[in-house]
Chains A and B, each alone.
Chain A
Amino acid sequence: DGGITQSPKYLFRKEGQNVTLSCEQNLNHDAMYWYRQDPGQGLRLIYYSQIVNDFQKGDIAEGYSVSREKKESFPLTVTSAQKNPTAFYLCASSISGTGVLLWNSPLHFGNGTRLTVT
């Protein structure tokens, strides 16, 4: 079955350490996204990528980095510069493009990674 796999489900790190969250999709989607979700807040966009080897900052990119070396993979690194990294992180993907192609194209999500930094 096609879908998005995020791993691990739970991640614990000490303050000051970098940590990388994995996101893999087999939906053949060009566009991939990373969102952060905190209690009482909506989803906030960290980074997104519309094609391999290209990505753009979202609303809260500071303290995060990404790479897009393969179409299927979009890992997110939470660096020690991120002041409040404890959160639920969601990866998503979608068809990319313009016009009619996008009218009926949904956004698909993985099951998330809960990161706790102490």
Chain B
Amino acid sequence: KQEVTQIPAALSVPEGENLVLNCSFTDSAIYNLQWFRQDPGKGLTSLLLIQSSQREQTSGRLNASLDKSSGRSTLYIAASQPGDSATYLCAVRRDTGNQFYFGTGTSLTVIP
């Protein structure tokens, strides 16, 4: 069964710092990997989706990479801002159906 791990569970950084969040998965048979942001008491907002054939995707200050063979993805946030404070989750979509597997998330706090 696919297992998705996110390390660290929590991260606190000063404003302006660049940072990297990590996501690892055990089964490389995936269609895509998606990064989400979740604010307290809210649903998940999709940030980036990387297809299994792609290496990276960029949106503004966010850059996500995917190394399917090693089962790893990273989310790079440039010039962090207090508004980036949230929980970030990654999810993989298996390639044999319509199921998704989620990590437990990284709680990010950006200190002004």
A42-B103, A45-B99, A48-B99 given; A90·B43 CB < 8 A: yes
Q: How far is the CB of B39 from chain A (nearest CB, A)?
A: 10
Interface centre among A92, A104, A107, A112 (most CB of B within 10 A): A107
Are B52 and A42 in contact, CB atoms less than 8 angstroms apart?
no
Q: Is the interface of B mostly helix, strand, loop or mixed?
A: strand
B44 at the A/B interface (Cβ < 8 Å)?
Answer: yes
Are B102 and A43 in contact, CB atoms less than 8 angstroms apart?
yes
User: What's the Cα separation between A107 and B98 when bound, in Å?
Assistant: 10
Chain B: interface residue total (CB-CB under 8 A): 26
The size bracket of the interface on A is 20 to 34
B76 at the A/B interface (Cβ < 8 Å)?
Answer: no
For B42, the closest partner residue in chain A by CB is A111
Extra contacts besides A107-B100, A109-B43 (12): CB < 8 Å: A6-B43, A41-B104, A48-B99, A97-B98, A102-B32, A103-B51, A104-B32, A105-B32, A107-B93, A110-B43, A112-B41, A112-B42
**B interface with A by C-beta (< 8 Å):** 4, 31-32, 34, 36, 41-46, 49, 51-53, 89, 91, 93, 95, 98-100, 102-105
What are 8 A-B pairs at a CB distance below 8 A? Answer: A33-B100, A40-B104, A42-B104, A90-B43, A97-B98, A103-B32, A107-B34, A111-B42
